[in-house]
Structure 1
Amino acid sequence: MSEYLVVLTQRSIKWSKLLKSKRKVQRNVKLKRYIRKGVPNEHRAMIWMAASGAQEQFEKNPGYYQALLEAQHDPKLVETICIDLNRTFPDNVQFRKTSNPCQQKALYNVLRAYAHHNAAVGYCQGMNFIAGYLLIVTKDEERSFWLMDALLGRILPDYYSPGMVGLKIDQEVLGELVRVKSPRVWKAMVDNNVMWTLVVSRWFICLFIDILPVETVLRIWDCLFYEGSKILFRVALTLIHHHRVLIEQAQSLPDICQIFKQITRGPFVEECHPFMQKIFTEPGSLSIATLTKLRAACRARIISEETK
């Protein structure tokens, strides 16, 4: 941590200089480079809003969030959200009922508003952690709502739809990428009859919350809001590729499940600065065009299997 504090201080000075002369944050190569090296806490909410397009929606729709809160809501939906409130970050002081202010009320509002805004998705488990994480960073209900809209509506479409088609597709895409980039790992998975959904579904649905250390997740989300969902693949491929020998030696399905839990812990992921440098080198090239092509093939395969 002492070494990382030096990095944080240096980044904070550079970010302050970058933002000092700017009225509005513009997407460009320099900003992308800065984001990859980490966004200081004091600028994180603003950069996430600007990088994701959430700021634009926020400015275009004054009063919209408040109108959503005042609308009529399905009692069953409200009940489901209420059940999950106490399950959201129970160890975090901001989400305890005794806290002042307590983020549970804000979390309830964001989830209720989003369910009304995106009726096709409504609310499903996992969304409470995402909304909670956004509230921790932004300390602002409305901004958390618009960031959630950017994530679930544009960056990760269909991850949280009733059929979770987008999530299923991306798990299959990861399998295809591993087959090409780490064929022996892929063979170990096939030989032990391990489905990707068994070992990586929580990685994708929770966007690594409660999987990787907090600071590492924040750094991943910095890039996710700017570069989109391919960041999730970069992180997953780095974890798998870096521990490929361990996975290749697995003798059974329980072995592999245990290894996949093990590889998300320890110094490799705790030292977030070198880890984030590795996600852009270790998996090799990964273009949007490649992902688009693989997603189309996996979508066709999944739909074909579901209609049989």
Structure 2
Amino acid sequence: MEQRNGTRRSKPPQLRINAPSTARERAASVDPYGFERSDDFDYESYEELMSEYLAVLTRRSIKWSKLLQGKRRVDRNLKVKRYVRKGVPNEHRPLVWMTASGAQERLERNPGYYQSLLDAQHDPRLVETIRTDLHRTFPDNIHFRKSANPCLQKELFNVLLAYGQHNKAVGYCQGMNFIAGYLLIISKDEETSFWLMEALLDRILPDYYTPAMLGLKVDQEVLGELVRLKAPAVWRLLQDHGVMWTLVVSRWFICLFIDVLPVETVLRIWDCLFYEGSKILFRVALTLIHHHQDEILQAQNLPDVCECFKRITRGAFVEDCHAFMQRIFQEPGSLSRSTVTKLRQSCRAQITAGES
């Protein structure tokens, strides 16, 4: 928190964002996470889908409660991995994300660290850059409007400021505001959001959010190599039209599919991202491309390709998040950690050689 009149503000109480629970509330113009629905939103299809998915969520919640039995940790084993892939209920997400990613351990090893970052002397340029981006963060989400109660803009500012102070080499990069905003919506707590962001940016996705964005560039090229292996016709089409992967998938990676895929689907992806690591991003991207390759192959030119890559992130295939998550572990086939590591090494070498 900022200091006022020399008095340090205490940590704020946890934010309360209650998800609508009735069918009438779910069919309102705002979704359970505060995002406004578009004018052409298909309420009938949504209600049909949610009636089935809520039953899945109820079963998963019971299973997770039995698994955790009041514990504040999750183990790393095949059973928990299977549970994570089938979805973590919202009430358990902060705990599972924190412990699976190592963020909880980092928090406990560094008591008071988050507050000390907020109380530090800050670079005015960092402060101004963050403030400039605040109003651009989820303009379609009611919780980030100044008129909201609670309004998450102040909490968002604090998380971004703390991270910029923590990692001065990075400071603030575009895309971070959306990640921090999502974390606040789910965790409902500033300090938790900071440590989850630290886990994502410093360890799970290193070099994504840096001035050079080398990690992001590398992973886009790795995806290209994976498409060449698993959907070669699509790879050839993009080569023939001179389409760079950066042009069609950079937003997928830098936003971690926020504002690309439906909210529930993104959260299911993040369950696996925090537990299994960055490899999950390739599975999602490969599934989108592989599943729609016939449609992509009909593209006649560069604008067609770009439009098609936008179109394949919408519709029933991605809205049914439970079925979609099952597909990402089936459709792309095997994808070992060693394969990804080798591809990253070769792509990194090519990029750095080209930039030197």
TM-score range, shorter chain: over 0.9
Aligned with 1:65: secondary structure? helix
Q: Structure 1 residue 268: deviation in Å? A: 0.1
The answer to whether structure 1 residue 109 and structure 2 residue 164 are counterparts is no
Equivalent residue number for residue 52 of structure 1: 101
Equivalent residue number for residue 145 of structure 1: 194
1:256 maps to a residue whose letter is V
Of 65, 73, 88, 1:16 maps to 65
Of 204, 217, 221, 1:155 maps to 204
1:123 maps to a residue whose letter is Y
Of 173, 177, 185, 2:234 maps to 185
CA distance in 1, matches of 2:71, 2:143: 32
Q: Counterparts in 2 of 1:188-267, with a 5 A limit?
A: 188-267=237-316
Equivalent residue number for residue 337 of structure 2: 288
Q: How many residues align?
A: 307
Aligned with 2:67: secondary structure? helix
Q: Which moved more, 1:270-279 or 1:84-93?
A: 84-93
CA distance in 2, matches of 1:304, 1:47: 40
Q: Structure 1 residue 187: deviation in Å? A: 0.4
Aligned with 2:331: secondary structure? coil
Q: Deviations over 1:136-157 (max 9, x none)?
A: 0000000100000000000000
CA distance in 2, matches of 1:66, 1:5: 38
Contact map agreement 2:145 2:151 (CA 8 A) in 1: yes
Normalised to the residue count of structure 1, the TM-score between the two structures is: 0.98
CA distance in 1, matches of 2:268, 2:142: 22
Q: Structure 1 residue 20: deviation in Å? A: 1.0
Q: 1:139 to 1:23 in 2, by over 3 A?
A: closer
Q: Structure 1 residue 284: deviation in Å? A: 0.5
Q: 1:105 to 1:23 in 2, by over 3 A?
A: closer
Of 172, 183, 198, 1:134 maps to 183
Q: Structure 1 residue 250: deviation in Å? A: 1.2
More helix as a share of residues: 1
Contact map agreement 2:139 2:145 (CA 8 A) in 1: yes
2:282 maps to a residue whose letter is F
Contact map agreement 2:222 2:340 (CA 8 A) in 1: yes
2:175 maps to a residue whose letter is G
Aligned with 1:124: secondary structure? coil
Q: Structure 1 residue 24: deviation in Å? A: 2.8
Q: Structure 1 residue 302: deviation in Å? A: 0.4
CA distance in 2, matches of 1:81, 1:105: 11
- How large is the Cα RMSD of the aligned pairs? 0.8
Question: Which residues of structure 2 form unaligned runs of 5+?
Answer: 1-49
The answer to whether structure 1 residue 275 and structure 2 residue 324 are counterparts is yes
1:174 maps to a residue whose letter is L
Equivalent residue number for residue 83 of structure 1: 132
Q: Structure 1 residue 253: deviation in Å? A: 0.5
Aligned with 2:106: secondary structure? helix
CA distance in 2, matches of 1:102, 1:28: 39
Q: Structure 1 residue 21: deviation in Å? A: 5.6
The answer to whether structure 1 residue 174 and structure 2 residue 255 are counterparts is no
Question: Which residues of structure 1 form unaligned runs of 5+?
Answer: none
Q: Structure 1 residue 99: deviation in Å? A: 1.4
Q: Structure 1 residue 160: deviation in Å? A: 0.5
1:54 maps to a residue whose letter is A
1:283 maps to a residue whose letter is P
Equivalent residue number for residue 99 of structure 1: 148
Contact map agreement 2:160 2:172 (CA 8 A) in 1: yes
